[in-house]
Homo-oligomer: A and B are copies of this chain.
Amino acid sequence: MKKLLLSASLVLLSTLVFAQNKDSLMIKKISDDVMQNGTAYKNLRVLCKQVGPRLSGSPQAQKAVEQTAKIMKEMGADTVYLQECMVPHWVRGKKEETKLIYANGTSKVLKAVALGNSIATPAAGITAPVIEVKSFAELEQLGRKVVEGKIVFFNYPMNSLFINTFRAYGDAIGYRVAGPSIAAKYGAKAIVIRSLASNPDDHPHTGVTVYADSLPKIPALALSTNDAEFLSRELKKKMVTKLFVRTSCQMLPDAKSYNVVGEIRGTDFPDEIITVGGHLDSWDLAEGAHDDGTGCVQSMEVIRIFRSLGIKPRRTIRAVMFMNEENGGHGGDKYAELAKASDKKFIFALESDAGGFTPRGLAFSGTQAQKAKIWQWQTLFEPYGVESFVEGGGEADIEALQPLGTVVAGLLPDSQRYFDVHHAETDVLEAVSPRELNLGAINMAGIIYLISEYGL
Residues of A within 8 A of B (CB): 31-32, 35-36, 160-161, 163, 165, 198-199, 358, 360, 383-385, 387-388, 414, 416-417, 420, 433-436, 439
Q: How far is the CA of A35 from the CA of B163 in the complex (A)?
A: 9
A416 in contact with B387 given A32-B161, A160-B36, A161-B35 (CB within 8 Å):
no
Give the residues in chain B near A358, CB-CB below 8 Å.
358, 414, 416
**Cβ–Cβ contact B435 & A165, under 8 A:** yes
A163 in contact with B385 given A198-B435, A199-B434 (CB within 8 Å):
yes
**Cβ–Cβ contact B161 & A36, under 8 A:** yes
Q: How far is the CA of A115 from the CA of B193 in the complex (A)?
A: 51
**Cβ–Cβ contact A31 & B161, under 8 A:** yes
Give the residues in chain B near A384, CB-CB below 8 Å.
163
Total copies of this chain within the assembly:
2
* Nearest-CB residue, chain B, relative to A28: B161
* Nearest-CB residue, chain B, relative to A437: B416
**Cβ–Cβ contact B439 & A163, under 8 A:** yes
Give the residues in chain B near A420, CB-CB below 8 Å.
433
Would you give the shortest CB distance from A225 to chain B, in whole angstroms? 13
Give the residues in chain B near A434, CB-CB below 8 Å.
199
Would you give the shortest CB distance from A49 to chain B, in whole angstroms? 17
- Show 6 residue pairs from A and B whose CB-CB distance is below 8 angstroms, ordered by the A residue: A35-B160, A35-B161, A163-B384, A387-B387, A417-B433, A417-B436
Selected from B32, B163, B388, B435, the residue in CB contact (under 8 A) with A387 is B388
Give the residues in chain B near A416, CB-CB below 8 Å.
358, 433, 435-436, 439
* Nearest-CB residue, chain B, relative to A159: B35
Q: How far is the CA of A242 from the CA of B8 in the complex (A)?
A: 70
Give the residues in chain B near A161, CB-CB below 8 Å.
31-32, 35-36
**Cβ–Cβ contact A163 & B383, under 8 A:** yes
Q: How far is the CA of A439 from the CA of B414 in the complex (A)?
A: 12
Q: How far is the CA of A414 from the CA of B439 in the complex (A)?
A: 12
Would you give the shortest CB distance from A362 to chain B, in whole angstroms? 14
Would you give the shortest CB distance from A91 to chain B, in whole angstroms? 33
* Nearest-CB residue, chain B, relative to A361: B387
Would you give the shortest CB distance from A202 to chain B, in whole angstroms? 13
Give the residues in chain B near A199, CB-CB below 8 Å.
434-435
